[in-house]
Chain A
């Protein structure tokens, strides 16, 4: 497999992304062709075109098994956003579909592993599709009157536009982002809702002290 994060100078046409990313980018799987005729059990949205990334996710859930039997999506975004949403949808519905809990347990790093890695500065893109799925699952819970399952425990949404939580910021700090710029490079926090930035900076300080003293 090719090294994803390097453009070599001697081979000037070498792809920036891994072959798997490229495949999912040029041949996206499970995208929503016609949402008019689609009966979704849950629908979720995250991001905005102004932020540079926006995703919509539709799911069908088998109520007996709680398996997510279908996941459809649309993505406005760069190559890795399209590829990671495509891969995410494949992971959710493969082998007859994961249960809701299993599907929600898919983290951005799992998607990245399956993609053969993403360039560092592109990680924020795949961070979005798990949020879009979570939002679709919450919508399913709402529709099926399982209100108590909606709130994700211990997690607070900091950026309301991109639905970035304190947990996302904690993860970014743990992965070595020690400044607002670096956290933004990973999460894009605040690009749609700059009013949250003071709180983000506070959280970065808090987690830095917590983990790195």
Chain B
């Protein structure tokens, strides 16, 4: 079969490197190879680049440069937040409050702490649109709660969580319970998916810890950063030469860190115009997808990432759809069990109260810089015949009233 031109609609999985980011990184992959811990000029040049990158990110987050710890990615930053804070402060309380729709980079360390290190966890439910109610977070708090972790925006269904409202509610809870703002419970948010589209002002958000990474914002893979409010000191996961204030040893990945800073600066500077462009495309795509009979939108209709469209297409299975789309040139993603290593369907689709059948037929399209209106129109022409063909092959005839 002749190969179709590629239309990449999986930006929530990862985004391509922005050429401007690549240009910023190149000097540190070529001439400026120094180790920032070295005292000579080559090392000092690397140190300068590291400091500049940290300052640039600090400005965007409205925090101090000393509050940022570079890591190998979002997963490590989430792990450092969860495992590190728990291990450092567990005598203050062993309860962790999080949600049922978190990324596995949060859920799995929490489950590890429960299984192996004496933690108790409470997974707050979300509503049918995937929204966390701040009141439910507050209702879950006890004097033993050490950490709250709620993602800023969900990677699968795109729902944006009310992080600032949760931050304020936690602050109010502390006040009512005679705790200083610097005392537990500490509030962590995974902002990897939100970083390109939403404000990252940690004071506005009211969080004590915040995770970011490079690969979702047209930066390099393999780099992330954890914001840790002054006064908090997570137990390190990695020991060695004492880099990053002893919280994350290992020679800094200067090129990637410079790339992360550049990618974040670009995406934050351009987010308003880019968001407006993407929202229009997204809404056109969603409206078109919902024209296909027996479909439903997953995630909140408006409180959602500008680039995310996630629909369940009933009576057929996601992997089959994905492969037909792939053949036609479209790169998408599904919550079907068949595509997960565990053979479990998406925990997020299950968490919004939909049965497994809806997860098996869920398709996620995440738009990006390169996406055009023509791409969306082409997808909306390509998908319906695929759905029709697979439905013809399928013995399943679900009743939509169960999936509203």
Contact = CB atoms under 8 A, between A and B. Distances in A.
A51 B357 CA distance: 8
Contact of B360 (A49, A75, A82, A184): A49
Contact of B317 (A31, A33, A52, A188): A52
Contacts of B339: 78
Contact of B337 (A52, A75, A79): A52
A49 B356 contact: yes
Contacts of B320: 25, 77-79, 81-82
Contacts of A184: 343
B370 interface: no
Contacts of A108: none
A76 B396 contact: yes
A45 to B, nearest CB: 7
B395 A54 contact: yes
Contact of B393 (A13, A53, A74, A122): A74
A28 B393 contact: yes
A54 B396 CA distance: 8
A55 interface: yes
Contacts of A79: 319-320, 323, 338
Nearest to A75: B393
Interface in B303-319: 315-317, 319
Contacts of B158: none
Contacts of B324: 26
Contacts of B269: none
Given A26-B327, A76-B317, A77-B338, A49 B396 contact: yes
Contacts of A81: 317, 320
Most A Cβ at <10 Å: residue of B323, B360, B393, B398: B393
Interface string A55-71: 11000000000000000
A54 to B, nearest CB: 6
A170 to B, nearest CB: 21
Interface string B189-213: 0000000000000000000000000
Interface footprint category on A: 20 to 34
A77 B320 CA distance: 7
A1 interface: no
A136 to B, nearest CB: 12
A61 to B, nearest CB: 21
A119 B393 CA distance: 22
B354 to A, nearest CB: 11
A13 B338 contact: no
Interface in A177-202: 184-185, 188, 191
B336 A52 contact: yes
Interface in B52-77: none
B3 interface: yes
Interface string B158-187: 000000000000000000000000000000
Given A13-B3, A79-B319, A50 B355 contact: yes
Contact of A78 (B3, B338, B341): B338
A195 to B, nearest CB: 17
B345 interface: yes
Contacts of A56: 395
A50 B343 contact: no
A205 to B, nearest CB: 22
A127 to B, nearest CB: 13
A82 B393 contact: yes
Contacts of B323: 25, 79
B343 A75 contact: no
B394 A76 contact: yes
Interface string B1-34: 0010000000000000000000000000000000
A33 B393 CA distance: 8
Contacts of A167: none
A188 B3 contact: no
A149 interface: no
Interface string A19-37: 0000001101001010000
B392 interface: yes
Most B Cβ at <10 Å: residue of A33, A76, A122: A76
Contacts of B355: 50
B343 A185 contact: yes
Given A49-B357, A50-B356, A121-B343, A75 B3 contact: no
Interface string B354-366: 0111001000000
Interface of B: 3, 315-317, 319-320, 323-324, 327, 336-339, 341, 343, 345, 355-357, 360, 392-396, 398
18 contacts: A26-B327, A31-B392, A31-B393, A49-B356, A49-B357, A49-B398, A50-B356, A55-B395, A56-B395, A74-B394, A74-B395, A75-B394, A76-B395, A77-B317, A78-B339, A79-B320, A79-B338, A81-B317
Closest 4 CB pairs of A and B: A78-B338, A78-B319, A74-B395, A56-B395
Given A49-B356, A55-B395, A56-B395, 4 more contacts: A50-B357, A51-B356, A52-B360, A54-B394
